Structure formats: C-alpha cells, structure tokens
Amino acid sequence: MVETGLQGHDLSPWGMFMAADYVVKSVMVGLLTASLVTLIIWVAKSMQLSGARRRANKALREVLKADSLESVAAVMATRRGLGAMLVKAAAEEVEMSRDLVGRVDPGGIKERVSSRLGRIEVAAGRKISQSLGILASVGSVGPFVGLFGTVWGIMNAFVGIAETQTTNLAVVAPGIAEALLATAFGLVAAIPAVVIYNAFARSVTGYRQLLADVSAGIERLVSRDLDRAALAIARGPTALAAE
C-alpha cells in the first residue's frame, strides 16, 4: 500500500478498487471474470483447433494419394477426426447405393454423397466455432460496461463534491481516479478478446477450407469409382474377362 497523502487515499490500483463504490466494484469484478473466461477459451480453443487441423491434414494426405474410395476407407477405418468421418460417410452412402451403380445416372449418387459431406462440414464448423461468440461479446460490450462503471463513479464523486462543498483536488481526484479504473478494466478485458477472436476467426476459416478440400478429394474419388464401374458394365463381361 502506498499512501499518497490525498485525504488518506491509497491511489494504487488495489487501493482504488477497495475504495470504489459497490457498483463500480461489481463492474470491475465482472470485467476481471470476463478476462479470465477469455484466457480459458483461448487455451482450450488453441488446443482443439491444433488437434483438429492436424487430423484433417493427415486425412487430406491420405485422400489425395488414394486411387479409390475403398482404399482410403480401409486406411481411415481406425482413425479419428472429421477427415475419417467424411471418408466413412461417403463409403456408407456409396455402399447403400451399390445396387444402383452402373444402372442409373451417377449424378444422384454423387449428389447424396455431397449432401452428407456438406452436412458434416456444417456441423463441424458450428462445433469448432462454439464459444467464439463469448469473445465477440466481451470485445464489443467490455468497454461500455467499463464506461458505465466510470460514469457511476464520477456521479458519486460529484455527489461527494456537493456534500463537502469544495472543489479541492485532494477531494475530487481520488473519486475520479477510482471511477476511471473501471474504464481501464473494460479495455483490459476487451482488447485481448478482440485480438483473440479475430485470430480464431481466421483459424476457423482455414480449418473449414481444409475440410472442404478433404470433401472435394473424396468426391473426386467417388466420381472416379462410379465412372470405372460404368465403363466396366459398358464393356460387358466378355471385355472384362479378356482383360
């Protein structure tokens, strides 16, 4: 504690916090809690995105080097992650349409595969974006909450001036300093939240693009397999036997 000599007030941050009005204290405690929540989300989301991107990149490499959906499905059968889920969903849809392969227009099968992959991508994007709304709220609302605390504190300071009937700086300064501390808390909560939110928004966009690349590779494999099946049927059993 550092005594300043101004009406016995301690103008250190802790001293100003303890001397503040209960409303201003509540505002500062709320903003401090928001800062801690921001830190927790940052750590948790960083780990979640890092693991998800690593698994998706592995899946993309497997899909790009595969020559058929069946071969990549065998490789991904025991793996985890959205990439493996996309491969399994495509393999299941093709298997369910096995009796239609080569007998009808393959466009319907491709459309159903694309639909399943698209819904998985949307669900994954929604899941990975959870909690980002909290960061956006803290970043946008934090300064205004801090400003509310400041306005309330300054109102109390002016009430104190009226009661003492003096404008002596030693009387006015501590109350105003305590009020302005709430604005500082609002900025401390909001600035990191905005920076972290923008960073995660870019990372989530990149992750979604990565999943889209995996889906596009799977769709190419499905299209290639269907064309091979159609060609085999067109050649007939005699041509197949000759090969």
Question: What is the tens place of the pLDDT at every residue in 118-173?
Answer: 999 999 988 888 888 899 999 999 999 988 888 888 887 777 777 777 666 666 67
pLDDT tens profile 34-76:
999 999 999 999 999 999 999 999 999 999 988 888 888 888 8
Element (H, E) at 16: helix 13-19
The pLDDT assigned to 196 comes to 94
If 0-12 CB within 10 Å is exposed, 13-18 middle and 19+ buried, where does residue 141 land?
Answer: middle
pLDDT digits (tens, 9 = 90+) for 159-208: 777 777 766 666 667 677 777 888 888 999 999 999 999 999 999 999 99
Closest C-alpha to 151, from 129, 125, 192, 179:
179
Give exposure, 112-137, as e/b (b: 16+ Cβ within 10 Å): bbbebbeebbeebbeebeebbebbee
- Per-residue pLDDT, 213: 93
* Residues 74-121 pLDDT 10s: 888 888 888 889 999 998 888 887 776 666 677 788 888 899 999 999
pLDDT of residue 240: 42
Reported confidence tier of residue 33, pLDDT bands at 50, 70, 90: very high
- Range 92-101, long-range pairs (CB < 8 A, 24+ positions): 94/69, 94/222, 94/225, 101/226, 101/229, 101/230
Query: Would you say 57 and 209 are in contact if contact means Cβ atoms under 8 Å apart?
Result: no
The 10 Å Cβ neighbour count of residue 88 is: 15
